[in-house]
């Protein structure tokens, strides 16, 4: 099936940012599928008019079978994928010290914040390869940037989020390695950090203009010839 619009998938697991990114994509001419899981899907399902313009699908990012259904749905509806935004993330263990850390909690965060991203890219890569200009954007965080976390002037430098921060650090390295792997191919991969150092805007209901402009710079394309 030929689709003359650029098709984007945004993943969402609970940070609320996926809905905002989907809105920006719609404003920039994309056909948008918002793939969400758990409570995030339930909340988005209640948005009513807010869902107008994009498709909401329920996906279990920890399940290869569920992601396979997503792939088949996209294939049948659009026949390709132009943009994958890996935004799904969760957080737990606020302020936990070493004696308070629960290994199962860390595994839960890594499953969504790291392993599911690898799984999603593996599953949807064949559809990305059908695009003339495929792109992947991994949503990261300054809390996973070692240099920023060492900077005492950084607003989140004193945050103790073992599972979240280390999962984002792992994602940063994975993205770096995948950029090298994809360099000879047509797939372009980017890392995007929605944290603004000056005002500490992070996964906010309002995305400040500077952050929004940076994001638009990654998704902008020349209009397709219809």
Q: Give me the domains of the chain, ranges plus CATH numbers.
A: 7-219 (3.40.50.720)
pLDDT category of residue 155 using cuts at 50, 70 and 90: confident
What are residue 64's phi and psi, to 5 degrees? -65, -35
State residue 41's pLDDT score.
93
Decide if pLDDT at 130 tops 50. yes
Mind listing the pLDDT tens digit for each residue in 60-114?
999 999 999 999 999 999 999 999 999 999 999 888 899 999 999 999 999 999 9
Distance CA 137, CA 107 (A): 23
State residue 56's pLDDT score.
93
28 HSE (CA, 13 A, CB side): 20
Distance CA 157, CA 175 (A): 23
Mind listing the pLDDT tens digit for each residue in 137-148?
999 998 999 998
Q: Which residues contact 159 (CB under 8 A, 6 or more apart)?
A: 95, 143, 165
User: Over the chain, what is the mean pLDDT?
Assistant: 89
Decide if pLDDT at 51 tops 60. no
């Amino acid at each position: 099936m030929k689709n003359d619009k650029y098709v984007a998938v945004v993943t969402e697991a609970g940070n609320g940012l996926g809905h905002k990114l989907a809105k920006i994509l719609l404003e920039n001419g994309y056909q948008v599928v918002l793939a969400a899981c758990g409570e995030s899907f339930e909340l988005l399902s209640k948005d009513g008019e807010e869902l107008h313009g994009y498709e909401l699908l329920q996906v279990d990012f920890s399940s290869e079978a569920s992601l396979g259904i997503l792939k088949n749905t996209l294939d049948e509806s659009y026949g390709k994928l132009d943009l994958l935004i890996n935004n799904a993330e969760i957080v737990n263990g606020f302020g936990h010290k070493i004696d308070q850390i629960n290994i199962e909690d860390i595994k839960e965060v890594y499953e969504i914040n790291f392993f599911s991203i690898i799984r999603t890219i593996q599953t949807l890569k064949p559809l990305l390869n059908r695009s003339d200009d495929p792109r992947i954007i991994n949503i990261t965080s300054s809390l996973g940037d070692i240099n920023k976390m060492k900077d005492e002037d950084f607003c989140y430098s004193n945050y103790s989020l073992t599972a979240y921060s280390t999962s984002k650090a792992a994602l940063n390295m994975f993205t770096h390695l995948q950029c090298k792997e994809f360099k000879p191919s047509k797939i372009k991969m980017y890392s995007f950090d929605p944290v603004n150092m000056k005002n500490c805007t992070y996964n906010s209901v309002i995305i400040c203009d500077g952050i929004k402009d940076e994001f638009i710079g990654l998704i902008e394309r020349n209009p397709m010839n219809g």
